[in-house]
Copies of this chain bind each other. A is one copy, B any other.
């Protein structure tokens, strides 16, 4: 039954031109209203509905005190007391806003932002490197993502070891793009490259082409494997054996006149090209041979251009639903968070959208 006097001392520091007032706290409000601190919290959060009751009079006094002091709850203290911080992390191994891939990444971010807004989360972009050379999740063994309630990962370069460790640790995260790890499954949202590729290859075959070539870079990660699988499916199902459906690994600078001439001489009429930059190179080299698409040969591109400069208008290609992927990833992450861990890793595959374009036509000399 002790009397406690809550001292009120809103000290004001003068720093040059900027007044740095100590912000009033619940204690200040409580003191002014002549009540105990807890009750202020109760009123502010409308927790008066449950079995906690506060008289109208007290309520009014507290509200008046709040107004008089200009009291504003400290969000930091709030989230500390509350447990979560409603922060979703976003992590990439490369730049979050890359110049070279600007067109590609931006769409994901649009989707992520939209859905984060809907789910009422803030976004924490991990840009700190803390002295390390490249970005890593584990900084001298420390999982830096823990700063957020959960995280969205995306990007090309991926450290599988870190992913596996993250998974093991039970940290809630979702990858944008298919990523597989040893001894387990992670949650991801991916585009159905395999099916999209199969469709676009079948489209090409249906145009009359009987001799195709797949041109891929040297990188052999999940997306590339999926595209290859789709290519193989489509060609095999349509009775094209391996000699009629070649596979080539070529970097841009390896797409030479000699090489292309060789393929033309072999009778290849259609090229399935992994990326726009390779397609541009292919078209340029073909032009040196006096050949132009779709009259003299055909080509289709497996997926979107990575930046603005390389866009080929009206290319035959398919679009990855990147906005939707970003949004889905956030949604999935939120489900995982609300489930509080009682959930198996889940994979979401979204369809791509075929775009006919005009770089695939009928073969000039049908087989």
Contacts and interface: CB of A to CB of B under 8 A. Distances in A.
A86 B183 CA distance: 35
Interface in A250-276: none
A72 interface: yes
Interface in A53-89: 63, 66-68, 70-77, 79-80, 85-87
B123 A124 contact: yes
A13 B339 CA distance: 13
A143 B70 contact: yes
A129 B122 contact: no
A41 interface: no
A225 interface: no
A341 B20 contact: yes
A142 B341 contact: no
Interface string A125-151: 111111100000010111110110000
Contact of A142 (B18, B73, B116, B342): B73
Nearest to A98: B110
Contacts of A120: 128-131
Contacts of A21: 169-170
Contacts of A20: 170, 340-341
A43 interface: no
30 contacts: A13-B341, A16-B341, A16-B342, A16-B343, A17-B344, A19-B168, A19-B170, A20-B340, A20-B341, A21-B170, A66-B141, A67-B140, A70-B142, A72-B138, A72-B144, A75-B142, A75-B147, A77-B80, A79-B147, A80-B80, A87-B124, A95-B113, A96-B109, A97-B106, A97-B110, A99-B110, A113-B125, A122-B124, A122-B126, A123-B125
Contacts of A125: 113, 122-125
A335 interface: no
A127 B327 CA distance: 14
A277 to B, nearest CB: 18
A117 interface: yes
B72 A142 contact: yes
Contacts of A121: 127-128
Interface in A27-67: 63, 66-67
5 smallest beta-carbon distances between A and B, as pairs = A20-B341, A67-B141, A15-B342, A123-B125, A72-B146
A125 B114 CA distance: 12
Best-buried of A23, A73, A97, A117 by chain B (most CB within 10 Å): A97
A126 B138 CA distance: 25
A308 interface: yes
Contacts of A15: 170, 339-343
A147 B116 contact: no
B147 A76 contact: yes
Given A17-B345, A72-B141, 7 more contacts: A15-B170, A16-B342, A19-B169, A21-B170, A66-B142, A73-B142, A95-B113
A102 interface: yes
A20 B117 CA distance: 26
Nearest to A168: B19
